[in-house]
Structure 1
Amino acid sequence: MGRQHQQPHILMLPFPLLGHIKPMLNIAQLLSNAGLQVTFLNTEHNHHRLTQLQEFSTHFPTLHFESISNGLPKDHPRTFDLTKDMVISFKSVTKPLFRKMLAEYSRNSDLGPVTCVIVDGIMYSFANDVAEELGIRPPLQIALKEDLDQEIKTVPGMEFLLRRQDRSTITSGIILNTFDDLEGPILCHIAPLFPNVYTIGPLNALVKTKIGDDIISQCLSSSNSKPLRSVVYVSFGSIARVTRSQLLEFWYGLVNSGASFLWVIRRDMIEGVKKDDMIPMELEEATKERRFVVDWAPQEDVLAHSAVVLESNDAGVPMICWPLFGDHQLNSRWVSEGWKIGLDMKDTCDRSTIEIIIKTLMKHRREEIIKSMDRFSKLAHDSISPGGSSYNNLKKLIEDLKQYMIKKVHQQIICSFPYKEQ
């Protein structure tokens, strides 16, 4: 109990899906690189997945990792359609364990008591309950509900949140994986509601600027001989599942478009079909010279390759979006109609639509979309460069976290709202 800890101890808690864990890990890397003590708390299932990665130990040498049970059996599929199970289990099993862990750190941890908790925004209710039990102010959450075909002029719920903030006393702020020039109008609505809004995105690019990243994958070698902007990169993320019929529609659409493609097909991605039975032999033969299919790919490195066409803002690569669930529909709408950096397939999945939309992106509207994409890519890179908004906001975040130790303010909660699920 007599130990003196000179640095704040930050506990980070992401929602247990890889699309949420990755940006939170980015934040953890940035804070740890600045000399802060960071404990990254994952569910036991995801902690095991992370530690199996070859680059795990070399990529996060100064982070402290802990795991916690989410109460689900080991054979639970943990797919998006079953996230309700995760939420229920978090409330019944994980919440009391989380509270106990915070108390244990206050008494016994070599890292010292937890100074603040950075929690994924989607974990709002979970963090709110724990915060109230500990006698600290609950975090806030923001909801956007608008007709996607209408221009957003107001943000419903802001008045409620403003009244709630008047009754609250301790929420420190929110971290947003975005940058000022991308979403300025919305950020103007959010800023008055919180003491601090830290826009520090794109996080993956900021990590490379501040720390560096030299991961290289052999799957990129298949793109090295391809012409500039000629390869379509296809990925459905870490949990989405499709039927064999949908897979074939995409495959035929890609074949008929004439494009070369790099496709990430997870072993568990196709419902009820073994990998060897997914694609007819004649279709595989027809694309042998212009396809490369892998179980996993380092997405950031792939997107930075000059031959790849689809995804993403930071890399300056236009997108074709096929929204399935969660925030996909909203994200897709912004990509297509708001920022005009790609095209939205909406809920269609047929080979002719896929063929047409790929040709449209790569030929007919190529210059228009590339021009817009290049503009936002430059703004993104400016934001993470020395003197840029995200660069400076990260510096402010680190300084504020250090001040918590000086002021002896303990167990603050900052809500993080990871931007754009990949």
Structure 2
Amino acid sequence: MAEAAKIDQQASAIPHVLVFPLPVQGHITSMLKLAELLSLAGGGGIRVTFLNSDYNHKRLLQFSDAESRSQNYPGFRFETFDDGLPMDQLTKGEKVSELLGEMDSKTRPVFKNLLVQIQPPVTCVIGDGSLGFISDVSLEIGIPIIRFRTISPCFFWINFWLPEVIQAGELPIIGEEDMERLITKVPGMESFLRCRDLPGYCRAGTDDPTMIQVVKATRESSSPAYPLILNTFDDLDGPILARIRQRLPKTYTIGPAHEHLQSRLGTASSSSSLWKEEASCLTWLDAQPPGSVLYVNFGSITMMRRDQVIEFWEGLTGSKNRFLWVIRPGSVCSGEMADDVQMPEELVEGVEKGNLKVLVGWAPQEAVLGHEAVGGFLTHSGWNSTLESIVAGVPMICWPFFADQQVNSRFVSEVLKLGLDMKDVCDRRVVARMVNELMVERKEEFRRKAVEMARMAKESVEEGGSSYRNLELLIEDIKLMSSSQVQGLGEIGN
């Protein structure tokens, strides 16, 4: 009996971390990589439970090798929840802002019930920073909380200062005022942040009160006492990170998460796609000259009007450059085009001919960006895609859709000098001009900068690198938190 009690005590001393992302592709991707890193780097000394919506978990099982996680990491498991929300509808386009509000009311009680009942007891929660109720519930129950912000550090920093920007009268943006006007009240960004670089909810008359409240809550929930995880590396975001750490000393930069995991595994990491990945595009790339192909993909959430799609098509074909365009099923809405105006057949059914390939489906993006034939990336500027492009050493043309993408595109072009910012423009002439500028006229200039940044990204996740060290420190913190939590549970039990 004494021996059994000793075994139970030893088992309860093992940290049990619950990781809970916003249930959309980009957030799942980066937080699942972190969950794997904790399972791997913890050397079996950490249990990890990844919490997924039923809807997304079914897709993950269908289209990825999700089950391999449990086989590769003995302490890893998935847990799912169902709060009755129509996840298939709320994870498209700007509907994501509705998802935040709906989850606050519908998912909060489901999460609280799960957190109380789950066994073994959770000793630490790593919650998506965009879901404030995760922190509320965890602290109410008495479980330590660590926030993971899957957005870019520069966007996090803007959100942090948004109340001051509003108080100074620099926001909201009113009507059709000068979009080139500088925003001067965000420290470190005074010289380059414009009205144009801020998301739609910074405009007067926005009908998106949920998102603005979430943004305002960034600082309210960012206590120096609570650790913060960011998916970046110090050489990429050094100046902004220095400012963030002045306010939030326990800020751990562990990225690029996908490269960090691959470095520790010594091989390509598992897929986390919610769509079937079509590998045929890799075969097509094999037949193209090195650095000759522009990869085009606007991500997992962006919705495009038919007229916008046609402008890109005409611009891309008119540039005379090779390109691979991945069009996500269901990503094109009718827009305001006349009924008799039809999209080219190639964009509806896909095509492979000459110097172009249109894939109506989904692609293994890390593998595509890492292919030697790819020389540029026309992207929506989601943070995962930006990091994947940086790691691959591929310069970008940025056409952002919403949220942090507006800021990311400015950061890529103005601060990192890794590409071109095409926000607020959807014109075939501009598309053709920018494609040629990236792929021909300034190709070597952009390529040199991109290759150097890729080198720094990879060094950051190698043993001794900044992200490698930060992950080790994070794991130590988790073990200390969990030790205190287990001790407290023991005292309550006595």
Give the deviation of 1:60 after TM superposition: 5.1
Corresponding residue SS for 2:236:
coil
| 1:18 paired residue among 14, 25, 37 | 25
The 2-side partners of 1:224 and 1:163 are apart by: 48
**Aligned twin of 1:403:** 480
Identity of aligned residues (%): 40
**Unmatched tracts of structure 2, length 5 or more:** 150-155, 171-179, 191-214, 271-277, 336-341, 378-388, 489-494
Q: Is the 8 A contact 1:116 1:410 kept in 2?
A: no
Residue by residue over 1:211-246, the C-alpha shift from the partner in whole angstroms, topping out at 9 and shown as x without a partner, is 121779342111112111100111011121111111
Superposed CA offset, 1:361-405 (max 9, x none) = 011121221122122111111111111111111122122222333
Greater relative CO, 1 or 2 (CA 8 Å, sep 6+): 1
The DSSP-based 3-state class of the residue aligned with 1:113 is: coil
AA matched with 1:213: A
Residues 1:331 and 2:396 are matched in the alignment: no
1:163-183 per-residue CA deviation (whole Å, 9 max, x = no partner) reads 9747xxx52x11110001111
Aligned length, in residue pairs? 397
Which residue of structure 2 lines up, in the alignment, with residue 120 of structure 1? Answer: 128
Of residues 259, 277, 291, the one that matches 1:229 is: 291
What residue is the counterpart of 1:213 in the other structure? Answer: 268
Change (3 A) 1:284 1:268: closer
What residue in structure 1 maps to residue 314 of structure 2?
252
Partner of 2:99: 86
CA contact (8 A) 2:125 2:143 kept: no
| Distance in 2 (alpha carbons) for counterparts of 1:94 and 1:314 | 35
Q: CA shift at 1:13, angstroms? A: 0.6
Q: What does residue 257 of structure 2 align with?
A: 203
Counterpart amino acid of 2:39?
S
Q: Quickly say closer, same or farther: Cα 1:30–1:78, change in 2 above 3 A.
A: same
Query: Which of 43, 49, 53 is residue 53 of structure 2 equivalent to?
Result: 43
2:160 maps to 1:153 = no
Separation in 1, partners of 2:126, 2:60: 19
Match 1:279 to one of 325, 333, 344: 344
User: Of residues 389, 392, 397 in structure 2, which corresponds to 1:315?
Assistant: 392
SS in 2 for 1:64: strand
- For the Cα contact (< 8 Å) 2:230–2:254, is it kept in 1? yes
- In structure 1, the residue matched to 2:141 is 134
**Contact 2:261-2:269 within 8 A present in 1 as well:** no
- Contact persistence 2:222–2:248 (CA under 8 A): no
TM-score, normalised via structure 2 length: 0.73
- The yes-or-no answer on 1:267 pairing with 2:329 is yes
Q: Secondary structure at the match of 1:268?
A: coil
- Per-residue deviation at 1:283? 11
Greater mean deviation of Cα atoms: 374-383 or 398-407: 398-407
Give 1:74 deviation, angstroms: 6.2
Could you say which residue in structure 1 is the equivalent of 2:383? Answer: none
Q: Is 1:64–2:77 an aligned residue pair? A: yes
Query: Which AA in structure 2 matches 1:256?
Result: G
Q: For structure 1, list consecutive stretches of 5 or more residues without a partner in the other structure.
A: 412-422
The CA distance in 1 between the partners of 2:261 and 2:115, in whole Å, is 28
In structure 1, what is the equivalent of residue 382 of structure 2?
none
Q: Report the aligned-residue RMSD.
A: 3.2
Deviations 1:5-30 (A, max 9, x none): 24210000101110111000100111
Q: Residue 30 in 1 paired to residue 95 in 2? A: no
How far did residue 162 of structure 1 move? Answer: 9.6
The 1:243/1:290 distance shift into structure 2, 3 A limit, reads same
Task: In structure 2, give the amino acid aligned to 1:298.
Answer: P
Partner of 1:239: 301
What's the TM-score once normalised by structure 1's chain length? 0.85
- Structure 2 residue identity aligned to 1:279: P
Amino acid at match of 1:296: W
| Equivalent in the alignment of 2:367 | 301
Asked whether the equivalents of residues 318 and 370 of structure 1 are also in contact (C-alpha less than 8 Å), the reply is yes
The answer to whether the aligner puts 1:53 opposite 2:63 as a matched pair is yes
Mapped to 2, the partners of 1:162 and 1:233 lie a distance apart of 40
Q: In the TM superposition, what whole-angstrom CA distance separates every residue of 1:103-136 from its partner, at most 9, and x where no partner exists?
A: 102xxx1xx210100011211x222321443256
Query: 1:245/1:306 Cα in 2 relative to 1: closer, same or farther (>3 Å)?
Result: same
Q: Do the aligned residues in 1 keep the contact of 2:93 with 2:301 (CA within 8 Å)?
A: yes
Answer yes or no: is the 8 Å Cα contact 2:108–2:133 preserved in 1: yes
1:193 is matched with which residue?
Answer: 247
**Aligned amino acid, residue 179 of structure 1:** F
Give SS of 2:67's match: helix
Q: Helix, strand or coil for the counterpart of 1:76?
A: helix
Q: Write the distance in 2 (CA, Å) between the matches of 1:178 and 1:298.
A: 21
For residues 264 and 195 of structure 1, what CA distance do their matches in structure 2 show? 41
Amino acid at match of 1:292: K
Counterpart amino acid of residue 299 in structure 1 = Q
Displacement of 1:75 after TM fit? 5.7
- Residue 161 of structure 1, CA deviation: 5.0
Aligned residue in 2 for 1:385: 462
Asked whether the equivalents of residues 347 and 358 of structure 2 are also in contact (C-alpha less than 8 Å), the reply is no
| Aligned residue identity for 1:80 | G
